[in-house]
Structure 1
Amino acid sequence: MNQTGFGREREARKSPNVIRYDEMTKDAQYTINYENPSLPTFAAKEYFDDLFGERFDDWKSMRCALLSPAKKCAFVTDQNKQLIDTLESIGAVDVMQTFRSRAEAVLEKEQVNLAEIEKSPPAGISEAEHYNKLIRTRLLVEQIESSLEIAKRLVIYATPTGKFNQLPRPLAINRGLKDFIKCDLADVFTALVHAPRASENCLLLNSEAEVVPLLLKGAPYCMFSLNNQEYNAARNVITSVKQYLDPKDIEERIDAKCDKTLRYGESLADDISEHFITECVFSSILLDAESTNDRVSMNEDSSLNIFHPTHTHIRQSMPISQKNQLKKALQLCRPGGHITYVSNSLSHLQNEYVVQAAVKEVYIEHSITVRSVPLHFIPFCLPELNFYTESRLGQMVVPDMGKNFGPKYVCKLYLE
């Protein structure tokens, strides 16, 4: 055992291909205080400094966090004693225990509140105001119950705030499957918000590999359709997940699609086949919208960076593309169903504008009535995350030096 408690197999080791510049090397001295203004990361930093410098009081701390390696937690898929002992040796704890205990306390309080509202309208408010308050409280209670159902099946170990001990290596313990997945706690937050109910038919639009195993494990009675812009991308997500979860179960519960009518920048066609309308309308949709993906934009100098000169037109039209994608998702959702909208951008005003604009337009164009689901209980139940306090429709995880997760904006919508 080494000084951190890891056995040799568990010890986290750096990749031999990583080039490291020590503090006083010639290369380090050459690059200090110098950034190439032609690189997309430089353009991203300039843009974010102008946009967020005055909007966030603690932008400097957030900027440092974004430029630092993101903190990871361990999503345990096989609870073996060796793994749990190793995680506890670095101070990691199961954050789902905290979430469950706090959420149960909030649920009890809100159930009492709902019973009071259902008895009679409070004095001094109109019938319409009372109805809106009643519906929002019901949605809140249902959301807490759904989140608790997901949390019961998840084991998520994270080190305390301010600690950055490196996680051990996952090992293939049972049937060749690795015993935990390194993930962003903001993705756990997304899964807890989306929280599909038992037996729902769930559509995952452009979802990455991180959130998919959380939903598969947390909602074992749901069927999933994974629709990415490229079919191979969807298959790659499924292949990745098979390292950790039962391949047979995955093949039975999730299928990969690449439906052209759901691609960014394209309208939902009027001539969609009758089969598509009758067979592919979902009660639960998770939409991972394209975004500036702020952490990647500030760190990755490649053509994939949205601030690369070849992507200027995509970046400029992004709010419209996001709105159109959310409108399509709303049209594909059954009445009584829900859509979870996700963005990896700190642009809070743009995030909430997209939701407001899409909801307004589907009401005008298709008479679809949508309500936002209250999520204000989440920051209290997940204290390991740092949340932006001015959110109105959704909740946004913002990175902090002590809680370096995200960024992630999540808004849940309910169709009446």
Structure 2
Amino acid sequence: MDLKSGYPFWAVSNGLMQAFPRLDADLRCDVAVLGGGITGALIADELARHGFDVTVLEQRDIGWGSTAASTALLQYEIDTHLVDLAKRHGEADAALAYRACADAIDGLQDVASAWRDVGFARNRSLYYASRRRDVRALEQEHAARQRHGLDVELLSRARVREDYGFDAPAALLSTQAARVDPYRLTHRLLQRLQKQGAAVFDRTCIADIETTSRGVTLRTDTGFNVRAAHLVVAAGYASQHWLKQRVARNRSSYAVISDPLPQDQLGFLADTLLWETARPYLYARSTSDSRLLLGGEDDAMDIPAKRDARVGKKARTLLKRLHDLFPGLAVTPAFSWAGTFAETEDGLPFFGPHRQWGPRVHFAMAYGGNGITYSMLGAGLLRALIERRRHPLWPLFSFRRMER
């Protein structure tokens, strides 16, 4: 799949950090991870740290698919409100998902703390009502999150104007959020794994997968075989290629990033993620070098050439919407891009085996607006499944929920 267009900032700013080798011989391992983006890197790291012999296989260069296009807002807040998720799956499961995502932010901080250059920083999250009629939903969401021990504050219009300098009928302020450079973190994780003896291959395309009761065999398009006890398919939105059942829909999202700004111009955006109740939503966050990153304007376009043609217009729209909120903020755009993403009907990911493939093939579909948070959760969930342990999130994040 052609997953991105334009000039994704992470790829431009970091360049090709390291070329990993192509697979040029048969090999065996405990777990093969198909996909060398941030999801595959987090899962491979989790498994390797707990004693598994892991092989990572990526058909492009490492981190060059959706990871390079990600805007990497790290939030516990799921695109589906807790109150709406509770209507679908019950309040206990909805709260479990939200609390697990909150814990995942701490987990990502622990992972990223090994390096100083991956752009990780703790942030707050300001979720504002786009329209007056959205206030009631925010009030209900505030009550539900507080009921389940989540740290959140409901702000009035006056408080939003006084503390943040723009006009919105209400907002939810959360402290459990962060940001990261996903491309650099992916490379750092896989470089460390390689140094520790794990096999990491890029430019290696898997043409066929065969399963037996004892393991999985992956065949490359150049004729080499990888035999593993388990396979994790973490190929992002291309993972759907390996399933006959449609489990998500592809969408395109657009982003633009500014030249570096003085700290006094960034204001609260220096340490706060901003997003809104409208769908699709506008969102903004800063980077470690004081740039402002805007995203949104999602649409259902899944044709790369047509998606590419929309990048310029979408970037202008994002900048205009920012100007409408903050007329005094002067932003000079540096790069703009688009990426193809996927979303599930309820906003939750899928992790684990699918009946089409049997118990030794696990999918890691961290779909939705907080995919990196989901990937952190999924790493632990998949390790539990491979170790034949129960995990509290598996029933909710498994393909079984499509059968309810």
* Fold match (TM-score > 0.5): no
> Which structure has greater strand proportion?
2
Larger radius of gyration: 1
What TM-score does the superposition give when structure 1 sets the normalisation length?
0.25
> Which structure has the higher relative contact order (CA within 8 Å, separation 6+)?
2
> Which structure has greater helix proportion?
1
What TM-score does the superposition give when structure 2 sets the normalisation length?
0.25
